Structure formats: C-alpha cells, structure tokens
Amino acid sequence: MMSIKGFFRGRAAIQPIWIFVIAIFIFFSFMSEYFLSLGNITNILVQTSTIGLIALGMTYVMINGNIDLSVGAILGLAASLAVGLQDYGLTIAIIAALASGMLLGAINGLVVWKTGVNAFIVTLGAMLGIRGLIFLYTGEQSFYSMNFAFSDFGASSIGPFPVLAIIFLLCTLVMHLVLTRTGHGRNTFAVGGNPEASIDAGIRLGRHMMINFIIVGFFAALAGVLLASQMGAATPNLGRDYELWTITAVVLGGTKLTGGYGSIVGTLGGVLAIGILRNGMNLMQVPAFYVLVVLGVILISVLIIDKKLNVPSTKEVRI
Amino acid sequence: MTPVHARTGQRQPIDADPVLKLEGITKRFPGVVALNKVDFDVRPGEVHALLGENGAGKSTLMKVLAGKHQANEGRIILGGEEMAFENPKHAKRAGVVLIHQEQSLVPEMTVAENIFLGSLPKKWGNRVDWRKLREDTNAILETLKCSFQHDDLVGSLSIAKKQMVEIGRALVFTPRVVVFDEPTASLTDHEKPVLYDVIHSLCEQGVGIVYISHRMDEIFHLSHRISVLRDGEYTGTVNTCETHEDEVTRMMIGRSLELDHASKPTDFGENMLELRNLTVKRIFEDVSFNVRKGEIVGMYGLVGAGRSEVAETIFGLRTPVAGEVVLDGEVVNFRSTHDAVAAGIALVPEDRKDQGLILGMNCRDNMTLASLSSVSSGGFMKGSAERSVYDKYHQAMKIKTPSWRQKVGNLSGGNQQKIVIGKWLHTHPKLLILDEPTRGIDVGSKAEIHALVKDLAKSGYAVLVISSEMPEVLGLSNRIIAMYDGRVTAEFDGDSVSEDALVQAITGMGTSAPAAATA
C-alpha cells in the first residue's frame, strides 16, 4: 500500500483515473477485435468530445468552489439557436449560439457572486429556466439544418483525424495551460481553496468566478453547436442529463467538489474512462443499461480508492 | 519594568504518588521518531506544565495519553494499573480527558446537549431524559461558575464560554487527569482568571492537570512542576518554585533568548498612515491615530475592542460611515482589498489558517499569491521567477520546509506565519499591518518574527501591530494605541508606559480623562 501511495504522491499530475483508463484500454483490446484500431479510437474521441468540452469548463468552475448544473440546458439552447438562426447566415447563427452560452454563464456567475446564493441552487434554477426557454423558442419542434456546410463539418476530417477530436484535444491543451500557467488559473485554485484568504491577498474573487462561469457557458454552447452539426439537427431535449455526465467525468478525474483541487489532465482521464467504457461495452454487445450500472459502480469505487489513497499519514505529523 | 526572565513560581511541589505515569513512551511515524523514550507523570492535585517548541512532541505525547495514538513502546500507568488505551473514549472512561486546542462543539445545539454529546442520559425506551440532562448540566455549570444557561445555543457563546463548555464535557466522566492543550490561545487577559479558577478547583478535587502552553507567565503562575520536551526527547522536569524562565527556555531550545527592548527602531519619517475620526457603525467610533515611516505602532486592547475591525477598515474590508483613511498624504478609503493591496497595504491576518493561507496549496504558490503580476509576463506565470521569490524569502526568514512543494497545511505555525509575512513583503508594501502576529507560535519562531518586524521598520516600513499580549506590544512598539469598546482610550510612549496604565486604558478604567502621552 505504501508504495502505491508514494507513487501517486510524488506525481501530483497523474491521477488514479489514468491507471484505470489504461487498464480498461488493455482489457477491451483483448476482449474485442474491433476495439484497437485508429478508426475506433478517433471514434471514441469524437463521441466524448461533447461531454469532454463541457467538462473542461466544469473543471474550472468546480476548482473555483462552484458547480454549474445548467450546462445541459445551455447546450440545448445553443444547438437550437445554431440551427434555427441559419436563415440569417451561418456565421451569425453560430456566433449567436456561442454568445448565448457566454451570456447565460455570465448571469449565473453574477448571481452567485452578488447574492452569495449557493451555485448549486442558482444553476439548478437556471437549468429549469433555460430548458423552458428552449421550448418557448422552438415550440417543441426539432430543427433540421438545410445548410450542408454546417452538417458536413461535424463529420469532416483532416487526414485520418476527425475535426471534432482535434478541436477537443486542442481545447484541452489550451485549458490545461491556462489553468496551470496563468494568474487566472492560480487564482481559481486559491479562491476555491480558501475564499477568505484570497480576499485578504487582494484577489478579485467575483471576477474570477464570473470568468469561469462564462468559460463553462462558452464550452457548453460550443459543445451544443458541434453536436448539432454532427446530427445536422437540434431537438429541444438535446443535452438532458449532460450536466450529470460532465460532473461524473470531472469528479472521476480527481477534482474535488469542495474546490481548490483538480486538474485538466485528470478531467481528460475521466472523460476517456466514460468514453472507453461505453464504446468497449458497446462493441462487446453489452446492453446499454448495464453500461449505466457499471459506470455508477465505478464512479463510487474510484472515489473510495481516492479517499483511501489520500488518508493523512506521515506528512500530517506536525505534533 | 521588572526583567521578564527573572520570573519564578510560588507553588511548592505536591508530595504524593503520581496518579498517572508514562514510562519510556516511544512513538514512531513512518520516517519520523516523534517521541523517544519519554517519561512523564502527574500527581493528584497538581498542575504539571508541559513545554516544548512546536514540533517537540507535546501534542503527540498527549494524544498517546488520551488514546488517539498508540505508543510503539512504553507503559501508561493510571492509578497503579497499566493501561492500553485503544481509543479516546476508552481513555475518557478511565478518567483521562483531553481539552482540545481546536474546539469540537456543535454550534447548533444547546450547552447541555454539547456537554453530554454521545452520553445523553436516557430513560425507558431509549428516550432522552431531559430533566436529568438539565439537572446534571446545571450541576456542572455551577462547578465551573458559568454565567450562561444550559439551554443557550453554543453558537451564540463567546470563545471563552465555549471553552467552558468544552471543560464541562470533561467533567461528565469523573476525571482523574485533565490535559489542557493551549487553553488560553484564544482567550483575552480578563477571561483567563476564570479558567485559572476552574483549574484550581479541579486541583482541589484531587484531579491531576497537564497544562500545555507557550506562555511563560501562565505556566509560572499556575504550575507546580514543569517538564520540557525537545525534538521528541524528554529533557527534564523542574519544580516551578526552584527555576526561572531563562532556565526553562534553555531547556526548550538549548539556548537562552533575549527579549531585546533596546533594538526598537528610532528613526521616523513622514506620516504614512493617518486615520481621521474613522467610524464604522456599531463597531468603533471616532478612531484617530497615525503611523510614521520606520515606526512600529502597537494597538492593544481586549478581544472585541474593535482593533481587528479598524485594520479591516483600513484594508477595504469594511466601509466606514464617517472619517478618512489617509495613506501617504492621500485620502484613500478603499472599497476593496484589491485596491488596498495595489496601493501598498499589507494585512497579516489574525487567523492564519482561515484568512492567511490556502492550506492545500504549496509553499511557493502561497508566497506569490498577492503578487502574481510580478512573476508573470503576458498573463503567463514564470516558474523560475516564482521559485526565486520563494527562495529569497525562504532563506531570508529561515523557513523550515523540506521543499517548496510542501503544502502549507503541513507546516508548523511559526513557518506558516513566515510564509504569510513573506507573501506580503514581496508586494513591497508601504504599510504593514500585523494582527496577532505570534499567536500560537513557539518561542523560537516568536523571537525571530519579532526581530524581523523590527528590522522591517528600520528599513523604512510603517508597521501597525495588533496584539493581545502585553510583552509583545511593549517589546515591539514605539507608540501604543489603547482601545476599549470601540474607542481609542489612550496613546502611550512605548518605552515609558507602565503596565498598570496600559491595563487601565484597555479595561475602560479612567476613560473620562484619557491620558495623552504621545511620543
């Protein structure tokens, strides 16, 4: 046990989830002949890109000590706008979709900051409200894209690499760098770790909180646009339960719900774990319900293992 | 003034067989020997003080005693019987109780429920016997001479009263040995006598008391014997009436410490900070004083007198309803801490852990927290620049850490405080405000921090020190501002003021004619 603990302590960047990702990767490589191929692996990246993109923003918000439950609804709204506004031009439709996400994120952030009401409650309300807006806007109808540039984009590739996978990996890299290398990233950790001490250090807590809500709003909207482009359509129910999948991925990746701790590398691991499990079990023709059961069990198991590994020991001896 | 180090105690040692004996206790943690063959005993009716610097092993020894840790070697003998406590509850039932440094009460519950938490009196059908609970609680409150009621919510009590509740808990099981771990750390000078009375009355009932504290005055006032630990080793036991502070200090740190009054700064410049009739509703009123460049001004008063709140107002955390804060000749009245920091104010807060540090972050990141822009370019931080900032203050202040990657939550109080101070020094402030800079810090680090503060003032910083410890205020300040009940009652010269005059000024005696003996 000691050596395992030491292993993880020394390498803060390596989350336990990556061991798990590698393990299931090897497992499915043996279990299914279709699993280990470039086509399937890029396919996993495309399938996870939607939740993955939102999870990047969610990681920031959660490290910051907040949570955003409205991401699924923002995704749905952005998807509907991106398809529904195409009469005014594709660019305008996409810009409007992304802007709606950032605006709603800004409102979430502003309310949390100014009122001090728990982000869980504020964004729970936003989740219900925004879903209502989608139905108002669409009149319960699905929209289909008549613009082939839009619907082809979601399936396009550069060489053997699907564009969606490339976008997701690029965003992951940028978000990782911003979190670990910039003042905003550092202050995000500080505010989540101890808001009072952050204020004492002259950090503008509200500003960082708002920026992070805008970031997650942006990524939810981006995920919505890309998902709509993949399907060539938008349905009013699009993005239901995505907030739960996203939070699952982020928590699997080792980010603490209490704030102050987490990483994009871990989140990528969490996203891939979900993606590989779904894909692999699908290839093994396991019924979809079992996949849910397995994921639920794994989420709880990973957190139990994490808790065991983080038991205070030698270094806590301060006397 | 009497030389501080000459103090000795009056109490004669009590001649009796020990109620509790620890023999050759050794406790190893992976990689560390926290205790090495430590002997310790307590006689009934005696106050036995346990001293040692932070990290010397006092708390570990007491945790072994109270069943929180199990010793690797050694014996615990209670009333002639060898014991092996497996957990705190076991130890408690046998009559060994630990009163915690950090309080562990449920604020939403009443005093009675807290005192009997986990051992509520029951009647038929496993229902709580409220009447017995009330009667038992009242009996305990009476022994402790408490002024509050059994049905008061603990959350509404002051810290001192909460501590009484904590002590009340210890009395539920007839205790034979009670361990007080830094009990006065959060008490004000006028709340302490109440605690002392409780300790005396426990002694009279034949209970053995172990008293852990950093404060020499208390130890010499209270204890019969003193034992000292250093680096996990037992260095000896002395009778309080036959020793003096210098000897005890030498036993603790292996050398003697000079409280150096002569080294105060002497060279003052222009006014750096001036408060003009500053008022915050219901907290403090009409506060005016100034701090010059190169000067240390002490702010002395009881907890609740409004000292910290004045500092918070200067720092932009509170909005004054009247009056002005003038910094370097400009009226500022900050509305956010960000502006205050940008203008050159630094506040080392009262509560390091809650307000000063991000405990889960490493040492380097905490150090650069208030000055990120100085170590970044184009929005991106430069690791090498951050490291050199850390290295600079790490060396300058002799911070003891294995590496910059260490989480500050794992450091001792003294080293944590140095990190907070280092964080502020790197912002190159014009005014440094220190709120209780040495609370809960061992004597060695305390002396280092005092020397550091004086050096900073001499190099031109304007320093405002808030403290509840008289020796600290007297030893550091050029001038002392006394506060009582939200008002400045007097201003004294730091070298010529008498302790009596100070006490009078902070307890509201003679406020009708405030003495104005300015420097």
Give the CATH number of the domain where residue A147 resides.
1.10.3470
Q: Which of B54, B337, B364, B366 to mutate to test the interface with A (most CBs of A within 10 A)?
A: B337
What percent of the residues of chain A are helix, what percent strand, and what percent coil, each to the nearest 5?
75, 5, 20
Q: pLDDT value at position A159?
A: 87
pLDDT along chain A (319 residues), means of 10: 43 69 93 90 94 97 96 97 94 97 97 94 97 95 91 89 95 96 94 93 94 98 96 94 94 90 94 94 89 87 76 41
- DSSP 8-state secondary structure symbol assigned to residue B13: P
Given an 8 Å threshold on Cβ–Cβ distance, is B360 in contact with A190?
A: no
Q: pLDDT value at position B259?
A: 55
Residue A133, in any domain of the structure:
yes
Which residues of chain A have a CB within 8 Å of the CB of B311? none
- β-strands B296-301, B479-484: how paired? parallel
Q: pLDDT value at position A316?
A: 39
Strands annotated E in B161-283 = 177-181, 208-212, 225-230, 233-239, 271-280
Which residues of chain A have a CB within 8 Å of the CB of B423? 201
Which of A130, A133, A111 is CA-nearest to residue A213? A111
State which residues form the domain around A128.
17-24+38-309
**What ranges do the domains of chain B cover?**
4-95+174-253, 102-169, 258-344+429-519, 359-428
Q: How close is the nearest chain A Cα to the Cα of B282, in Å?
A: 23
Residue A84, in any domain of the structure:
yes
Give the dihedral sign, CA A257/A263/A266/A271.
Answer: positive
Domain B258-344+429-519 has CATH 3.40.718.10: no
Measure Cα distances from B336 to B333, B339, B430 in Å: 9, 5, 17
Amino acid at A174: V
Residue A162, beta-bridge partner list: A157
pTM of the model: 0.77
Q: CA-CA distance, B346 to B428, in Å (whole number)?
A: 9
Residue A73, in any domain of the structure:
yes
- Whose tokens are 């932070």? That residue is B54
Q: CA-CA distance, B409 to B270, in Å (whole number)?
A: 39
Q: pLDDT value at position A9?
A: 43
Which of B490, B487, B498, B478 is CA-nearest to residue B517? B490
Q: pLDDT value at position A315?
A: 39
Q: How close is the nearest chain A Cα to the Cα of B420, in Å?
A: 10
Identify which of A200, A260, A313 has the shortest CB distance to residue B355: A200
Q: pLDDT value at position A311?
A: 55
Residue A281, in any domain of the structure:
yes
Which residues of chain A have a CB within 8 Å of the CB of B382? none
Given an 8 Å threshold on Cβ–Cβ distance, is B347 in contact with A186?
A: no
Which residues of chain B have a CB within 8 Å of the CB of A188? none
What percent of the residues of chain B are helix, what percent strand, and what percent coil, each to the nearest 5?
35, 25, 40
Residue A184, in any domain of the structure:
yes
Walk along chain B (519 residues) and give the pLDDT tens digit of each residue: 334 445 666 777 888 888 899 999 998 876 667 888 999 999 999 999 998 876 678 888 888 888 888 888 899 998 888 888 888 888 888 888 888 766 678 888 899 988 888 778 888 888 888 899 999 899 888 877 777 888 888 888 877 788 888 888 888 878 899 998 888 777 777 778 888 888 888 888 889 999 988 777 888 888 999 999 887 888 889 888 888 877 887 787 665 555 556 688 888 888 999 999 999 988 899 999 999 999 999 999 877 788 999 999 999 999 999 999 999 999 999 999 999 999 999 999 988 888 899 988 999 999 999 998 888 888 888 888 999 999 999 998 888 887 888 888 888 788 899 999 999 999 999 999 999 998 877 777 888 899 899 999 999 999 999 988 778 888 899 999 999 888 999 999 988 888 778 878 887 765 444 444 433
- Whose tokens are 């609970």? That residue is B133
- Whose tokens are 């010269």? That residue is B493
A211 touches chain B (CB under 8 A): no
A1 touches chain B (CB under 8 A): no
Architecture field, domain B4-95+174-253: 3-Layer(aba) Sandwich (3.40)
Q: pLDDT value at position B30?
A: 65
Could you tell me how far CA A124 lies from the centroid of its own chain?
A: 17
Q: pLDDT value at position B101?
A: 61
Residues whose CB falls within 8 Å of the CB of residue A14, separated by 6 or more in sequence, listed in order = A8, A265
A311 touches chain B (CB under 8 A): no
Give the total residue count for chain B.
519
Q: pLDDT value at position B502?
A: 84
What does the CA dihedral A130, A132, A136, A137 come to, rounded to 10 degrees? 30
Q: CA-CA distance, B375 to B427, in Å (whole number)?
A: 11
Q: Has the ipTM of the complex gone over 0.95?
A: no
Q: CA-CA distance, A192 to A58, in Å (whole number)?
A: 13
Which residues of chain A have a CB within 8 Å of the CB of B338? 202-204
Residue A182, in any domain of the structure:
yes
Given an 8 Å threshold on Cβ–Cβ distance, is A200 in contact with B372?
A: no
Identify which of B59, B337, B406 has the shortest CB distance to residue A319: B59
Residue A293, in any domain of the structure:
yes
B385 touches chain A (CB under 8 A): no
